[in-house]
Amino acid sequence: MEEYIMIEYVKGKAMYAYITSPNTRWNPPHKYEITVLTDDETATRLEDIGIQQTRTKQGQPRFDQPAFVFKKNSVKSTDNTPLPRPKLIDADGNALDTIIGNGSDVVVKVKPYSFNGGTYGELVAVKVENLVEYGEVPEDDNEEF
């Protein structure tokens, strides 16, 4: 019997993206990762396959809209062999090598998998449809100081 690999595409706003280099804030193995703020329909679709929204330690939603974190190890856990980073492209399919700023419009390609009784989305690729430069304040940020 042939096994099919399910792929999901998640469209939304990027937050805390570590695509060109892994997040080294936590203990190894370091991970490539991105948080995606998305819509209710996408959130329902992901939750229906078992992928849960990101939450605080107290169990509350971390953001005002549905948010999911997708990750990929930067090395093999068995022997620390480096793994390729997720593919990063622009809206036209050209390779990118830039830091993705918060608020960038992205489509994230993830491969759901099960581990220790949970379902997660392995980060495969990121397509940046509208880049917010790292450190730049998005235009729709109307917060006044």
pLDDT digit string (tens) for the chain, length 145 residues: 445 568 999 999 999 999 999 999 988 889 999 999 999 999 999 999 999 999 999 999 999 999 999 999 999 988 989 999 999 999 999 999 999 999 999 999 999 998 888 899 999 999 999 999 887 555 655 555 4
Burial of 4 per CB tally in 10 Å (0-12, 13-18, 19+):
exposed
Q: What pLDDT sits at residue 1?
A: 43
Q: What pLDDT sits at residue 38?
A: 97
**Which amino acid is it at 119?**
T
SS3 content of the chain, % helix, strand, coil (to 5): 5, 45, 50
Q: What is the pTM of this model?
A: 0.87
Taking the alpha carbons of 73, 28, 131, 95 in that order, is the dihedral positive or negative?
negative
